[in-house]
Structure 1
Amino acid sequence: MSPRDGVLDDETVGTALVVSSAVGFGTLAVLGEYAFAAGLNVVSVLALRFSLAAALIWPPLAFVRRRAGDLASLRLRGRTLAIAVLLGLVGYTGQSALFFLGLRYLTAGMTTIVLYTYPVFVLLLSTTVLGEPLTRRDLLALPLALGGVVLITGADPAGVDPTGVLIVLGGAVVYSLYIVVGRVALDSTDGAVLSAYVMPAAAVSFLAVGSASGQLSLPTSQLGWAAVLGIAVLATVIPVSTFFLGLRRVGPSRAGIVSTVEPAVAVALGAVLLDEPVTLVTLVGGALVLVGVALVQA
């Protein structure tokens, strides 16, 4: 049905879901900085993030599906189950670890801006793996986005660590793989169920690493618990679920472009809550990244 019939079409709903996801993810870097300020390390933050998220998503999901008489939809099998578990064990684990490691070198806003080269990588993967055509606009988008990252890096050499940029770029590549593979899994299940499997799988990864390295610890202050709970709810359960729900409706390339709301949220929150500097050159570099990825959608 069309919007004229009083029902929003799939593309409109999908876009709204991805925007809400981007806003949620935009809080992640700032909340991560608060968690670090409370004395938590990267492994502990991520182990708590995904453990709490898994505990929060399963009860309401099971309740809703039971009420609908659709408990069978919660049981993934075979290839779909394998993909969902690998998305958590490898995909989300790798992207999250690289993102939070990047926060140790870069500001919250800068980390998110660099991560936002990922729609270009999604484009390239969609072209090579899924057979989508590569247009002239796409060829212009790639150097613009990556040129923006270079400009950000060179704008203030004393304030931007190239190591952090490389780490977060690695996270962008991993995230692009996660999105493309996730779209394949959505042919057999829905976004909420896929999220419910991804989160505990990611939790297992970080709990295993933390136990083996002796790095696991719990927050010892109200600030620490507030940051961790915020990360689990605002920056994980809500945005991961809404992203997968939107991804199924609009596809990987469009979802990546719509998500460009996220760096704007992260930069604004970093400036307001953490007093992070926002220079003109940084804004120009960030704008180039956003223009580059927006061209993919134009």
Structure 2
Amino acid sequence: MLTLRQLRYFVATAELGQISQAAVELSISQSAVTTAIRDLERGIEVELFRRSPSGMELTPSGREFLFHAYDILQKVEEASTLRLPSAAIEGHLSVAATYTVIGYFLPNHLHRLRRSYPGLDIRLHETDRQSIEAGLTDGRFDIAVLLTSNVNDLRIAAERVVASPRRLWLTSRHPLLKRDSLGLQDLLHEPYIMLTVDEAEESSVRYWRAAQMEPNVALRTSSVEAVRSLVASGQGVAILSDMVYRPWSLEGQRLETVVLNDQVPTMDVGLAWSRESGLTRTAEAFRDYFRQAYQSPRVRSLTAAGRDSALPLT
């Protein structure tokens, strides 16, 4: 019988490409992951992975099944944190957000917010951090979702919602993957693909300089997909957050991630508002939604959540 545990173990293995890494991520034994995947393949009578010395590679059927697994786990997570619609919250809410937040964080939350608060008219604005800070202080925006680690205006209150680890991105064929450990020092002669959007370059420069090193920048780009494609095809390496990570490029080539030995700060995403103006009632409802979503002990990542559950799916 198909279980949520099997789906979570399958997703973790598909994303990380290694049973050993999936086991570490899930805090379980490798044998438990292997058994779950074997039982899943037998249950649906489909080969999901090709096993090789370099790891676990999804078959075409496995890639298709992964999207179904994501969809199922997302719906289960939504059901477990379901909030009944509140007719008490009505009115307009002007929300500003940066490019990365809109592209990789907000869409699903906006859907759930509009379902929870049908009387709330959310008006979304995409802009950069400096414009957001100005808009919050002059009243154009009620609240913002952005990278809180970049906020530097003392008139702005900021509250972190989630901290996304930054890891090294490599092509699945990169020789550095054979090493037991890696640090910034090991990347000095590698062509580095530098993402520039949402002040990503400024954030990178800070931790490279803290280590008294400088990356060998081969290209600067504002496109996350360009970084993904270039890294996957072996044309460079990058250090980016798990929030924007996907295991394949648009061309279908695989990327791997590695945790570096050096101190690399997380990418912190959260809320911001004007200290002087405070929060309107609608902005408070917006903030409370994220507090419940990320501070509730029931809410965890799709791959790590429910390690000890095996609910049957009918």
Q: Return the structure number with greater strand share.
A: 2
**Bigger-Rg structure (1/2):** 2
TM over 0.5: no
Higher helix share: 1
Q: TM-score range by the shorter chain?
A: under 0.3
Q: TM-score, normalised by structure 1?
A: 0.25
